[in-house]
Structure 1
Amino acid sequence: MAEITRKRTGEFLRELFSILLSTQTGLPAREALHQLAARVTLSPYEADNYESGGRRFEKIVRFATVDCVKAGWLIKEKGTWSVTEEGRQALVEFPEPDAFYRRAVKLYAEWKASQPNSDASETVIGVLKPSDEISDELDTSAKAVSVTFDEAEEQAWSEISTYLRAMNPYEFQDLVADLLRAMSYHVSWVSPPGKDGGVDILAWPDPLGTRPPRIKVQVKRQQQAVSVEGLRSFMAVLGDDDVGLFVSTGGFTKDAEFEARTQEKRRITLINLDKLFDLWVEHYEKLTDHARRRLPLRPIRFLSPLT
């Protein structure tokens, strides 16, 4: 039977890390795997599919990333993979693929042994056999649970983010206003279609709008990140007693984030799609039934991987 060696897995991982490090914010897992497959030459065995479904190459990489996450080298959040500073250092410290993956496996084993109720005599999933083989029966391991969890989260976030990005701009604007109401703010005005003067929503901490600060909100449902120039245009409409909220489905450039973070005269908070969704989930129970229909969510419980 064909085998995947530790060295080969290390080659996949090192190339994957190089791809992720070439971006500022990481990549969606599927895009990262797609780019990785284009950079390496897969053997017929690696390119083949498991009987249970899924290409063997992708399963090998996904299972190996579990070691990297527990080693502190890789972060997975809402389907996006990014390399930590520790991962960047490991890429330099262990230039040989075999040593790179061996170190990740060792750190995973140390993490596993540190878990409550861990059996020190238990063979740690991911530690390779002396023959340097990786078992083909991956679906029975603890890592299979982690991979299933990752794939479910990726699928869910892909559908949610696509739904939000495709929403009518004014419907999306109303969604943000509904969220502010659920957070106990009092929305006094939502911009109708047409020119809005740079402000889409006005809100206050109290029902009568007598207690500062006044909250001015700009909402951008767009694919591209908001630039520092776009942020400055919004800050220009903020008064001394105003607080600005800038919501953008495309996120913000690094320069824009730095500009907001270092402001001394203008108080402004940037909310990207991830943060908006987290707030929606956090305050979901306080949303009206009408508001929930804008982005209806239903929790599904399944076995979670060890943390």
Structure 2
Amino acid sequence: MAEITRKRTGELLRGVFQILSGEPDGLPARDVLKKLESIVPPTTFEKSDYPNRPGVRRFEKIVRFATVSCVKAGWLEKSKGRWILTETGKTAFQTIPDPEKFRREASRLYHAWAETNQEIDRSDEENPEESRTSVSFENANEQAWTEIEEHISKMDPYDFQNKVIPGLLKGMGYHVAYTAPPGADGGVDIVAYPDPLGTKEPTIKISVRRRVQKADVKDLREFLSRIHPGEVGIFISVAGFTSDAERECRSDQRKIRLIDLDKLFDLWVEHYSKIPESSRKLLSIKPVWFLELGNTE
């Protein structure tokens, strides 16, 4: 459409990439869109609502749909409402400064992907006004993930540590032998075994952190000091881990697994049917199906 030229779309995309280039772990899509307004201010047209959808502004939908080609080009990744720039995307941002050429190259790679994967392009890539279906799944996925994060952050810490996590372990087939009492901070919150009597190796020790800050090297080393030969350590940190902590874990000879909220939730979904009802009701989920007219993820 006349109001949204390739050049303008390229300006919006480069604004998104500028924001993400300084965020190695990516950002929630809602935060990217908010920051984008100050870098690439919306036009009068982009500020307006869709005629048949009062309260739904064009700007956010236009940007979301424009990023579809970047995902298929391998420049951008989307996971649970978070946008992350790939190394290929960083290179494209640095080497193609012209907005229109940037947009054209993303489109070229998108169509190459569609041809290779024998995808039928049912949407007009240059017409976001007609492409609401293409971003419906992304919007729903982002909203669902936001609600999950908020629910877990408001959950009673004791319920999370001593009911949700043990429930997941039981659903995975492990036997929980110990859970730390409220207020205890001995570094090991849960002990589990592969068998009911605890006679088989390995002993599994779990530390659970639900802090806002990422777990760092100091946190990891404190936990490692409690892991003995033949034992397995699982460090759960809802906020994730610093890059230094991840490197420390990879270099350590002991069997240590780092689990952030993304991985934790994936495990919860995978083993949900086997998790005890008493734990499931604390983090109850339900699948929702979408008609895939155009895959945006």
Query: Smaller-chain TM-score range?
Result: over 0.9
Give the corresponding residue for 2:227: 238
Q: Is the 8 A contact 1:112 1:124 kept in 2?
A: no
Q: Aligned-residue CA RMSD in angstroms?
A: 1.7
Q: Is the 8 A contact 1:29 1:80 kept in 2?
A: yes
Q: Distance in 1 between matches of 2:119 and 2:69?
A: 20
Q: Is the 8 A contact 2:49 2:57 kept in 1?
A: yes
Give the corresponding residue for 1:38: 38
Which one of the candidate residues 197, 203, 206 is aligned to 1:214?
203
- Alpha-carbon displacement from aligned partner over 1:32-62 (angstroms, at most 9, x marks no partner): 0000012222221121121224221111111
Q: Distance in 1 between matches of 2:30 and 2:245?
A: 28
| Residues 1:188 and 2:177 aligned together | yes
Give the corresponding residue for 2:105: 103
Q: Distance in 1 between matches of 2:280 and 2:82?
A: 26
Which one of the candidate residues 247, 256, 259 is aligned to 2:236?
247
Change (3 A) 1:136 1:76: closer
| Residues 1:268 and 2:256 aligned together | yes
Q: Distance in 1 between matches of 2:186 and 2:117?
A: 55
**TM-score normalised by length of structure 2:** 0.93
Give the corresponding residue for 1:57: 59
Q: Distance in 2 between matches of 1:123 and 1:300?
A: 22
Q: Distance in 2 between matches of 1:9 and 1:81?
A: 18
Q: How does 1:4-43 map to 2 (within 5 A)?
A: 4-43=4-43
SS at match of 1:25: coil
Q: CA deviation at 1:136?
A: 5.9
| Residues 1:302 and 2:293 aligned together | no
Change (3 A) 1:56 1:117: closer
Q: CA deviation at 1:305?
A: 4.7
**TM-score normalised by length of structure 1:** 0.90
Q: CA deviation at 1:94?
A: 1.2
Give the corresponding residue for 1:290: 278
Structure 2 unaligned regions, length at least 5: none
Q: CA deviation at 1:233?
A: 0.6
SS at match of 1:54: strand
One-letter code aligned to 1:175: V
Give the corresponding residue for 1:85: 87
Which one of the candidate residues 51, 70, 73 is aligned to 1:71?
73
SS at match of 2:184: coil
SS at match of 2:133: helix
Q: Distance in 2 between matches of 1:233 and 1:22?
A: 30
One-letter code aligned to 1:18: Q
Q: Distance in 2 between matches of 1:74 and 1:186?
A: 40
Aligned pairs, how many? 292
Q: CA deviation at 1:138?
A: 2.0
SS at match of 2:50: coil
User: RCO (CA 8 Å, sep 6+): is it higher in 1 or 2?
Assistant: 2
Q: CA deviation at 1:146?
A: 2.8
SS at match of 1:270: strand
SS at match of 1:226: coil
Of stretches 48-57 and 148-157 in structure 1, the one that deviates more from structure 2 is 48-57
Give the corresponding residue for 2:167: 178
Q: Is the 8 A contact 2:62 2:128 kept in 1?
A: no
- Alpha-carbon displacement from aligned partner over 1:150-191 (angstroms, at most 9, x marks no partner): 000000000011111221111001200110011111100111
Report sequence identity in percent.
49
Q: Is the 8 A contact 2:205 2:232 kept in 1?
A: yes
Q: Is the 8 A contact 2:205 2:231 kept in 1?
A: yes
Change (3 A) 1:46 1:270: same
Give the corresponding residue for 2:149: 161
- Alpha-carbon displacement from aligned partner over 1:101-136 (angstroms, at most 9, x marks no partner): 011111112222233374xxx78731xxxxxxx436
Q: CA deviation at 1:231?
A: 0.6
Q: CA deviation at 1:92?
A: 2.0
Q: Which runs of at least 4 in structure 1 moved beyond 4 Å after TM superposition?
A: none
Q: Is the 8 A contact 2:49 2:58 kept in 1?
A: yes
Structure 1 unaligned regions, length at least 5: 127-133
Q: Distance in 1 between matches of 2:74 and 2:34?
A: 23
Of stretches 34-43 and 278-287 in structure 1, the one that deviates more from structure 2 is 34-43
Give the corresponding residue for 1:130: none
One-letter code aligned to 2:206: V
